[in-house]
Amino acid sequence: MSETQEGKTTEPEVDLPAWSLRRDDPRARALPRSWPHRIDRKWAWSGSDGAGVRVAIVDSGIDGDHELVGGLQRAVAVEKTADGEWKVGDDDAGDLAGHGTACAGIVRSFAPRSELWSVRVLGAGFKGGAGALLTGLRWAIEQGCEVVNLSLSTPKRDTAALLHEIADDAYFGGSVFVASAHNLDVRSYPWRFSSVVSVASHDGEDPYEFLYNPDPPVEFFARGMDIEVAWLDRTRIIAAGNSFATAHMTGICALILGKHPALTPFQLKTVLRETASNMRES
Amino acid sequence: MAEEDLRAAVAAGALAAREGHRPLLQAIVEVARAIFGARAASIMLLDHSAGELVFQAVTGEGEDTLVGRRISSATGIAGWVAQSGQPLVVEDVANDPRFAREEARRTGYVPKGLMAAPLLRDDRVLGVLNVLDRPERRRFSAAEMDLLGLFANQASVALDLLLQAQRIETLLGTAGDELEAVAELAMRIDRLDEDRRAAAVRLLRDLVDIVGS
């Protein structure tokens, strides 16, 4: 594109390459600058209870009747049909391990009015592949879940490519994947992708303490050690692991999106960084 | 049969290797148990096709009865760990009747706490390392999770070797006499002095050419 002496742009003769933008395209218009200069926790989530935010817990199922969970919006399971297809259907199996209920309870403790969606991908249908995981994640995006809690990872490289595609679709489609980093020194996915919010544990006791990691691939550390969580049969147990740190970040994401529903995943990540406990005034 | 498999089978000369790896797995669970001061520790192998976890090595509670025992990988904490590929630590699971469920009850011992880590090798989940009932005196720390990870890495290597030995054994078992004969030949050639070995290898190459045509 060339500039005339009057400073006006002239239309080029040729088409722009794919994915480019003409400056007179509506997408080039000025966008409202809605953020204050200082992004702090008060701005980010004060007064929010997560209302209006759909949170999918992609895990072992959820016991919706547990007092710490307090009801589910919907529960589905991904199962393999007789002809080998993965299918999403309503699920009344509850929780097969306890883990999904634990994560749901943590999210609820932050965002009591968020909607919890249980997407069960673990269980009998899971053996032999990651098809259930991929199908469940895709389904959660299609339902418009704004936050997807994923305390799982897979070391399978062929699955990683498919996961990457789904994670990117989520990122651009307005669903935030909050994914557990591996607790061991293992290369697994999707937490290593830049399009997700990846979480590992710190050993502090404050549920609202989370740290931004300037040295990724793990981007955030949240409370993950010695936490009382909901478990099977309406019990509570003490548990530890990055999964639970992840559920803390999911809860905080739900709070922020409850107050600022228009934030894109990329903006949300920035808000998380600005409100991290280890940010200090320059 | 793939050439690679044949080579693996022949190179295995060490068919007794399988038994050699059991003490290694056993040593790993024993050290893990001692380091964490736990009441029991075990390594389970994931049988993908059956959807089950099989006890391979056990120390402490259940060590006399559990090896070879199978539990479902679809439910429970070890199942979650195998399927999710993520470690998990829980305390007071005895309060959880479904964890104790039939599985734990059948083992004759219901733990109060459990640390479980997946055993990963390359991009495969091979099984689960369990450490049961560490002392309640202290909070679980990130350092302990790292330690658990170190043991899990070691156990994964050992379990992978065991699986390779089993695979070769199966291969030999199903291949009939010809592989055994080749393995025998390879072992004998290996014992020859350098000159005779070179001659034997030339002879074998000629044989390959003849058979190949």
Total domains present in chain A: 1
Most A CBs within 10 A among B46, B72, B110, B123, hence the mutation to make, goes to: B123
- Give the pLDDT mean for A82-101: 92
Asked if the structure places residue B10 within a domain, the reply is no
Q: Are residues B57 and B149 in the same domain?
A: yes
| pLDDT digits 0-9 by tens, B158-213 | 889 888 877 877 776 666 667 677 777 888 888 899 889 999 989 988 988 888 76
| pLDDT digits 0-9 by tens, A30-58 | 887 777 778 999 999 999 999 999 999 99
Among A73-82, A248-257, B92-101, B158-167, name the most confident range. A248-257
CATH code for the domain of A131: 3.40.50.200
Q: Are residues B184 and B160 in the same domain?
A: no
Report the mean per-residue pLDDT for chain A.
90
Asked if the structure places residue B2 within a domain, the reply is no
Asked if the structure places residue A99 within a domain, the reply is yes
Asked if the structure places residue A27 within a domain, the reply is no
Q: Are residues B161 and B203 in the same domain?
A: no
Domain range spanning residue B26?
A: 18-172
Supply the ipTM of this predicted assembly: 0.76
Asked if the structure places residue A98 within a domain, the reply is yes
Residue A136 pLDDT level (bands cut at 50, 70, 90)? very high
CA distance B127 to A247: 25
What integer pLDDT is reported at residue A100 of this predicted model?
95
Asked if the structure places residue B12 within a domain, the reply is no
| pLDDT digits 0-9 by tens, B56-73 | 999 998 899 999 999 988
Domain range spanning residue A82?
A: 47-274
Asked if the structure places residue A12 within a domain, the reply is no
What integer pLDDT is reported at residue A4 of this predicted model?
46
What integer pLDDT is reported at residue A3 of this predicted model?
46
What integer pLDDT is reported at residue A1 of this predicted model?
43
Task: Flag whether residue A228 sits within 8 Å of chain B, measured between CB atoms.
Answer: no
The token pair that represents A57 in the structure block: 């817990």
CA distance B156 to B151: 8
Q: Are residues B134 and B198 in the same domain?
A: no
Total domains present in chain B: 2
Q: Are residues B185 and B168 in the same domain?
A: no
Instruction: Tell me the CA distances in angstroms from B118 to A41, A95, A154, B23, B85, one per residue in order.
Output: 37, 20, 11, 20, 6
Q: Are residues B162 and B180 in the same domain?
A: no
Ordered strands of the A54-59 beta sheet:
A86-90, A74-80, A115-120, A54-59, A147-150, A176-180, A197-202, A220-223, A211-212
**Residue A129 clears pLDDT 50, i.e. is over it:** yes
Q: Are residues B168 and B85 in the same domain?
A: yes
Asked if the structure places residue A229 within a domain, the reply is yes
Using alpha carbons only, what angle is made at residue B78 by residues B109 and A241, rounded to the nearest 5 degrees? Answer: 110
Query: Residue A200 — φ and ψ, nearest 5°?
Result: -125, 180
If you search the block for the tokens 């919006």, which residue do you land on? A73
Q: Closest Cα to residue A157, out of A176, A181, A137, A130? A: A130
Cβ pair A199, A212 in contact under 8 A: no
Q: Are residues B203 and B115 in the same domain?
A: no
Asked if the structure places residue A126 within a domain, the reply is yes
Q: Are residues B62 and B144 in the same domain?
A: yes
Contact check, Cβ <8 Å, B90/A238: yes
CATH code for the domain of B105: 3.30.450.40
Asked if the structure places residue B3 within a domain, the reply is no
Q: Closest Cα to residue B90, out of B143, B149, B130? A: B130
Report the mean per-residue pLDDT for chain B.
80
What integer pLDDT is reported at residue B213 of this predicted model?
60
Three-state SS at A22: coil
What integer pLDDT is reported at residue B68 of this predicted model?
93
By CA distance, what is B118's nearest residue in A?
Answer: A184
Q: Are residues B107 and B199 in the same domain?
A: no
Range from A140-154, B47-61, B127-141 carrying the lowest mean pLDDT: B127-141
- Give the pLDDT mean for A198-202: 93
Asked if the structure places residue A189 within a domain, the reply is yes
Asked if the structure places residue B164 within a domain, the reply is yes
Using CB atoms and an 8 Å cut-off, which of residues 193-222 of chain A contact chain B?
201-203
| pLDDT digits 0-9 by tens, B134-144 | 876 566 677 78
In chain A, which residues have their Cβ closer than 8 Å to the Cβ of B124? 155-156
Q: Are residues B122 and B76 in the same domain?
A: yes
Asked if the structure places residue A133 within a domain, the reply is yes
Instruction: Give the one of A99, A182, A236 whose C-beta lies nearest to B80's C-beta.
Output: A99
**Residue B98 clears pLDDT 60, i.e. is over it:** no
Residue A282 pLDDT level (bands cut at 50, 70, 90)? low
